[in-house]
Amino acid sequence: MIKQPHILLVYTGGTIGMIKDADTGVLKAFDFTSLLVKIPELRLLDCSIETISFEHPIDSSNMSPKYWIEIATIIRDNYSKFDGFVVLHGSDTMSYTASALSFMFENLAKPVILTGSQLPIGDLRTDAKENLITSIEMASLQKDGQPIIREVGLYFEYKLYRGNRTTKLSAEHFEAFESLNYPNLAESGVHLKVNSEYLLKPKSNSKLIVRTAMDSDIGVLKLFPGISRAICEAVLTSKLIKGLIIETYGSGNATTESWFIDLLKKAITNGLHIVNVTQCVRGSVNMGQYETSSQLKTIGIISGKDITTEAAIAKMMYLLGENLDAQQFQYYFEKSLRGEMS
Ligand code: ASP
């Protein structure tokens, strides 16, 4: 007899778990322990489901590495008991959490799918039910008794994306996320269509390692025409920052003013890891393509290639937690570790 997949739903907070009080209209948390009673459709799924919830669910604007560790620990502690995991999460910072979890789990061989919704689960026109039901179906997909998806994904509005490739682009459309530099992993139509060629294929026998030393002493500096020397100096000479992501123009270009280049050079000499990520939502950093990026390459700025800022932040926290020297840091940052860059 074929065993039904066993799925763990982890509720962290967000609109998906809210229900509107019929009298007052105020949104309040939905009791996830009674999920199967409130959404009887879930019983029709060909899997068994258990739920676990944060003791105090949060709006994802309050997300932080402390909660990433809580999610990762829940999954680690239940890893052998379940075939797949669905993490219910507010959409606002879901791409950051998906990215962070992807780095925290090394040798992940089971699906971890994040989902949420734009409208509360109790709303008439809610997108929560479809997102929840299809995420569970995606997490249940198996071939020869093994999970088909073996990475951290993000499911929203009929599409499954690689989590660390996503960005939230819309605050009002049901189609809130996009993966602009990587194809979708799967789509939900009349049938579920998995694009197998784009899935990560981890070595099946390696043991799961969960890395929890996320160091958040980092900064993000978005360049804009007219950015002042004083502001750049304040950031680049700060003793509080160990890693800095610079959001540059186009294919990784920045001003060639000598004060800017000198500040960067000095910061690198003083041990700051600086990564170049483009402000463009599509395409890649390619230092050396233009004169305005050649010097950045020469002085030792790390290329973020086509990584999203969300994934770059998570990757930087993860690599800083590993206490690498400058050369190793650059090597690992420029290498795709979980399919986060091309
Ligand atoms: N502010 C909410 C959150 O991110 C929005 C949502 O649930 O989608 O938690």
CATH code, domain with 281: 3.40.50.40
Cα angle, residue 273 at apex, residues 271 and 274 outer, rounded to 5°: 130
As a whole number of angstroms, the distance between CA 111 and CA 116 comes to: 16
Per-residue confidence in pLDDT tens, the chain, 342 aa:
678 999 999 999 998 888 777 788 887 777 777 777 778 888 899 999 999 999 999 999 999 999 999 999 999 999 999 999 999 999 999 999 999 999 999 999 999 999 999 998 878 899 999 999 999 999 999 999 999 999 999 999 999 999 999 999 999 999 999 999 999 999 999 999 999 999 999 876 789 999 999 999 999 999 999 999 999 999 999 999 999 999 999 999 999 999 999 999 999 999 999 999 999 999 999 999 998 999 999 999 999 999 999 999 999 999 999 999 999 999 999 999 999 999
Residue 160 in 3-state DSSP? strand
Query: Ligand 1 pocket, 65 CB below 6 A?
Result: no
Q: Of all helices (H) and strands (E), which one includes residue 263?
A: helix 258-269
Q: Is 92 in the pocket of ligand 1 (CB under 6 A)?
A: yes
Q: What is residue 1's predicted lDDT score, i.e. its pLDDT?
A: 61
Please indicate whether residue 116, judged by its CB atom, sits closer than 6 Å to ligand 1: yes
**Are residues 223 and 135 part of one domain?**
no
Based on the fold, state whether residues 154 and 176 are members of the same structural domain: yes
256 falls within a domain: yes
Last residue of a domain, one of 183, 210, 237: 210
Residues 300 and 225 placed together within one structural domain of the fold: yes
Residue 135: name the closest of 91, 59, 188 by CA.
188
| Domains in the chain, number | 2
Cα of 13 vs centre of ligand 1, distance in Å, is 8
DSSP notation for 271-324? T-EEEEEESSSSS---TTSSHHHHHHHHTTPEE-TT--HHHHHHHHHHHHHTT-
Instruction: State the catalytic residue, choosing from 12, 15, 115, 278.
Output: 15
Question: Atom 8, ligand 1: which residue's CA is nearest?
Answer: 91
Summarised one tens digit per residue, pLDDT across range 37-53 is 778 888 899 999 999 99
225 and 129 share one domain = no
Same domain, 206 and 223: no
Q: Write the CATH number for 171.
A: 3.40.50.1170
Considering the domain boundaries, does residue 342 fall inside one?
no
For residues 222 and 201, membership in a common domain is answered with no
Shared domain for 199 and 233, answered yes or no, is no
First to last CA, the chain: 41
Ligand 1 atom closest to 60 (CA): 9
User: Per-residue DSSP letters for 35-87?
Assistant: HHHH-GGGGGSSSEEEEEE-SS---GGG--HHHHHHHHHHHHHHTTT-SEEEE
- State in Å: Cα 60 to ligand 1 middle: 6
What is the bridge-based pairing of β-strands 192-194 and 186-188? antiparallel
What is the token pair recorded at 253? 């270009």
Is 126 an active-site residue? no
Q: Is residue 6 within 8 Å of 83, Cβ to Cβ?
A: yes
The residue from 148, 179, 210 where one domain ends is 210
pTM of the model: 0.96
**Tens-digit pLDDT profile for residues 227-240:** 999 999 999 999 99
Per-residue pLDDT at 31: 74
Compute the distance from residue 14 Cα to the ligand 1 centre, in Å. Answer: 4
61 CB near ligand 1 (under 6 Å):
yes
Residue 16 CA to residue 134 CA, distance in Å, equals: 14
Compute the distance from residue 102 Cα to the ligand 1 centre, in Å.
20
Q: Are 181 and 297 members of one domain?
A: no
Residues 45 and 188 in one domain: yes
Q: How far apart are CA 100 and CA 302, in angstroms?
A: 20
- Whether residue 339 is contained in a domain is answered as no
102 three-class SS: helix
Q: Which residues contact 265 (CB under 8 A, 6 or more apart)?
A: 299
Domain of residue 289, residue span: 218-333
Q: Is residue 40 part of a domain?
A: yes
Report how far residue 125's alpha carbon sits from residue 193's, in angstroms, rounded to the nearest whole number: 25
Q: Are residues 53 and 183 in the same domain?
A: yes
Domain presence at residue 84 = yes
156 shares its domain with 272:
no
41 assigned to some structural domain: yes
- Count how many Cα atoms sit within 13 Å of the Cα of residue 23 in the half-sphere of its side chain: 0
Distance CA 295, CA 316 (A): 22
Is 14 touching ligand 1 by the criterion CB < 6 Å?
Answer: yes
In a domain, 1, yes or no: no
- Asked if residue 338 belongs to a domain, the reply is no
CA dihedral sign, ordered 85, 91, 96, 99: positive
Answer for the pair 120, 38: CB distance below 8 angstroms, yes or no: no
Out of 162, 183, 210, a domain closes at 210
Q: Say if residue 196 is in the same domain as residue 132.
A: yes
